[in-house]
Amino acid sequence: MWMLSLVPNEVLQWFVHGVLALSILVFIASRFSGIYKLPLGAFAFVLLIFAVYFEGGYGVEMEWRNKVAQVQEKVKEAEKQSEKVNTVIETRLVEKVKVIKETANANIQYVDRVVTKYDNLCTLSNSAIVLHDSASRNEVARSPIGLDEGTTSLKISDVLSTVVDNYSTYYQVREQVLGWQIWYKEQKKIFEGIK
């Protein structure tokens, strides 16, 4: 029966119905054939068995082809819905990242406008820089002896600009993760609806 899946619908339909019609015609002809009545009757009977078998197989094959076509149609519809969801999620993410970047830029401008006035009034210790750098790498702060003593040449405005950039990056990545979570939930709903 697997051979039926290789044959186009129209050819398969004509073949199956043609074999059934041929078996019936041979059976009728065998009744009028005199001396060949028995061999033609046996051939017609065997041909009729094959024809009925093929008719049943054809029916099952058409049923499966219809089911496959229905599922393919559902998948196409789900893909259209998925594209719409993707567009909505992507638009939301782009807008949120834009707001985050605008906020970071405003904060950097604030640092440039206000905090730089205090650069020469505020000194940072080397240990503060070591602590900041270790925290950014998710490590325990450790430095070679003597390195964390004294003050650094870094200005407070430089440190705060770095902190603003780091927080901005964090919130952008956070929004991406939230977007992926929403995307997954929505895609799961869409494609589970196909069943």
pLDDT tens, residue by residue, 33-75: 888 888 888 888 888 888 888 888 878 888 888 998 999 999 9
pLDDT bracket for residue 126 (50, 70, 90): confident
Cβ atoms of 164 and 107 closer than 8 Å: yes
Q: What is the mean pLDDT of residues 20-32?
A: 84
pLDDT at 10: 76
Q: 126 in a domain, yes or no?
A: no
Q: What is the mean pLDDT of the chain?
A: 87
The count of structural domains within the chain is: 1
User: What is the domain range of residue 92?
Assistant: 2-119+155-192
Q: 132 in a domain, yes or no?
A: no
Q: 40 in a domain, yes or no?
A: yes
Beta bridge partners of 151: 125
Q: Is 92 left (phi over 0), alpha (psi -120 to 50) or beta?
A: alpha
Q: 99 in a domain, yes or no?
A: yes
Q: What is the mean pLDDT of residues 96-110?
A: 96
Q: 136 in a domain, yes or no?
A: no
**Model's pTM, two decimal places?**
0.65
Q: Map residue 125 onto helix, strand or coil.
A: strand
Q: 125 in a domain, yes or no?
A: no
Cβ atoms of 78 and 194 closer than 8 Å: yes
